């Protein structure tokens, strides 16, 4: 029988306790950059963050890097039933650190350093890395770029989702120079958001951390699988939500959402009447009957009285696998026919859904203990080209979270860029509440699904 831990990951008392701890911590002992480890006092205060700093960092982060996406191999999940407590403890240490002056700002000259270098810039770099426990306290002194410094830089890069080069590049320097106050705000905003979520942590569950663009399949407290995902663009952000994965759809069809129908399909049909046929799409009337695209007035800007559905196949926007997970936003996890984005660090390219790398292996994990749904059987079912909906005998809880700052069970603090600029805004309005069917964002056309018909808004597109 599946073990369940039902928890409201944070309650009003949690924030009150945090505030009390912060007040006490400001008058207490030495600052801690990560929970439980002392760090030396910084000699220089970090510079005040400016709009140009943020703009420059964001622009740099957009640059795609070649090769496979860098995904952690840690067995520890980014979100579990103790995440809120760990974030709260870390907020205490970061608040104390901020009062004591933060960490030193590094000059661009550190990007010229290499193993074997020495001098004042190396000494400052060692101090900066020691403050956040990336460099052990006993190695904080000295002015030589040795193996300890290289390992410390790699650790810092790992915690920030950066390429682990062991040297300082533009993105690593930008992350090193983010003021401690901003890091504290990331932790506080992340705590706020998960405090507003009501999630059932099962023996098996799935978490999608949107800023990290990563999905984790968790089993018995350990990450069994971790997948790169492509999540929503800045103007079509993926929502936070909690629900259950209920089915695996093989060879799904795709019903074009209203926004894409109006903005893209109509526009293309005006220029290219053969677009619908070339994209293996069908036009359906209000009763679901196929009609001739030539009978539609594509020049009209009014509300359409038809839908457009794309057939199953390698050309389909959803790829070969879709994971059904009912929610007010009608977003979901799925395969894609645009896999090139998985090899980049900037994976914010969808219209709200989570395009999932290696979805067939994810499907195997979901269907464990449910007949002989091996990878070979899934491949064979997809090869038939026929749609097949496989309902899960046991629904798997799934949470889409927006954590720009979090702490894993080994007390390592992680940060990611606030891609949607949510950290400065009230977080509770961002959380999808399955008990509010009148959510104004839940309107539009219907997506074909193994579940009963429901409203659709943010869907994925090509």
Q: Which of 160, 341, 353, 414 is catalytic?
A: 353
Establish whether 227 is a catalytic residue: no
Question: Is residue 338 a contact partner of residue 462, using CB atoms and an 8 Å limit?
Answer: yes
Q: Tokens 């009501």, residue?
A: 198
HEC letters along the chain: CCCEEEEECCCHHHHHHHHHHHHHHCCCCCCEEECCEECCCCCCCCCCCCHHHHHHHHHHHCCCCCCCCCCCCCCCCCCCCCHHHHHHHHHHHHHHHHHCCCCCCCCHHHHHCCCCCECHHHHHHHHHHHHCCCCCHHHCCCCECCHHHHHHHHHHHHHCCCCCCCCCCHHHHHHHCCCHHHHHHHHHHHHHHHHCCEEEEECEEEEEECCCCEEEEEECCEEEEEEEEEEECCCCCCCEEEEEEEEEEECCCEECCHHHHHHHHHHHHHHCCCHHHHCCEEEECCCCCEECHHHCCCCCCCCCCCEEEECCCCCCCCCCEEEECCCCCCCCEECCCCHHHHHCCCCEEECCCEEECCHHHHHHHHCCCCCCCCHHHHHHHHHCCCCEEEEEEEEEEEEEECCCEEECCCCCEEECCCCCCCCCCCCHHHECCCCCCCCCCCCCCCCCCCCCCCCCCCCCCC
Question: One of 227, 334, 414, 422 is an active-site residue; which one?
Answer: 334
User: What burial letters (b/e) apply to 41-56, b meaning 16+ CB within 10 Å?
Assistant: ebeeebeeeeeebbee
Contacts with 378 (C-beta within 8 Å, 6 or more apart), sequence order: 250, 321, 360, 363, 364
Q: Which two tokens stand for residue 273?
A: 């009447």
- In order of 51, 183, 189, 398, the CA distances from 177 in angstroms are 14, 11, 20, 34
Of the candidates 72, 69, 66, 34, the one whose C-alpha atom is nearest the C-alpha of residue 158 is 72
Residues serving a catalytic function are: 334, 353
């Amino acid at each position: 029988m599946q073990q369940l831990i039902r928890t409201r990951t944070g309650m009003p008392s949690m924030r009150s306790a945090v505030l009390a701890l912060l007040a006490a911590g400001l008058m207490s002992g030495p600052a801690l950059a990560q929970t439980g480890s002392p760090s030396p006092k910084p000699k220089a205060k970090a510079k005040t963050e400016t709009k140009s700093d943020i703009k420059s960092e964001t622009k740099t982060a957009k640059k795609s890097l070649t090769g496979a996406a860098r995904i952690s191999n840690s067995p520890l999940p980014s979100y579990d039933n103790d995440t809120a407590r760990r974030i709260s403890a870390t907020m205490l240490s970061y608040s104390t650190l901020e009062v004591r002056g933060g960490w030193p700002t590094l000059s661009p000259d550190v990007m010229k350093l290499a193993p074997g270098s020495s001098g004042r810039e190396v000494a400052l770099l060692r101090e900066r890395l020691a403050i956040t426990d990336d460099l052990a306290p006993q190695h904080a002194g000295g002015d030589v770029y040795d193996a300890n410094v290289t390992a410390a830089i790699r650790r810092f890069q790992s915690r920030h989702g950066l390429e682990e080069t062991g040297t300082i590049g533009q993105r690593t320097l930008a992350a090193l120079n983010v003021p401690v106050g901003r890091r504290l705000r990331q932790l506080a905003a992340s705590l706020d958001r998960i405090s507003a979520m009501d999630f059932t942590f099962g023996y098996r569950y799935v978490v999608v951390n949107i800023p990290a663009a990563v999905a984790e399949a968790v089993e018995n407290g350990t990450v069994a699988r971790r997948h790169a995902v492509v999540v929503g663009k800045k103007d079509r952000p993926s929502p936070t939500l909690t629900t259950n994965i209920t089915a695996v759809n093989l060879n799904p069809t795709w019903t074009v959402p209203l926004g894409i129908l109006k903005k893209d399909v109509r526009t293309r049909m005006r220029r290219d009447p053969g677009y619908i046929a070339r994209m293996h799409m069908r036009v359906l009337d209000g009763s679901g009957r196929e009609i001739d695209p030539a009978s539609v007035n594509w020049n009209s800007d009014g509300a359409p009285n038809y839908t457009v559905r794309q057939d199953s196949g390698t050309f389909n926007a959803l790829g070969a696998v879709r994971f059904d997970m009912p929610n007010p936003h009608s977003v979901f996890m799925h395969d894609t026919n645009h896999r090139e984005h998985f090899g980049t660090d900037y994976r914010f390219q969808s219209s709200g859904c989570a395009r999932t790398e290696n979805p067939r292996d994810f499907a195997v994990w979901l269907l464990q203990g449910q007949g002989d749904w091996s990878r070979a059987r899934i491949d064979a079912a997809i090869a038939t080209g026929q749609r097949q909906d496989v309902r899960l005998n046991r629904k798997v809880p799934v949470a889409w979270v927006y954590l720009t700052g979090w702490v894993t069970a080994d007390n390592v603090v992680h940060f990611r860029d606030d891609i949607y600029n949510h950290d400065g805004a009230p977080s509770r309005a961002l959380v999808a509440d399955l008990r509010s069917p009148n959510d104004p964002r839940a309107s539009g056309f219907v997506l074909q699904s193994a579940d009963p018909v429901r409203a659709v808004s943010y869907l994925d597109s090509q």
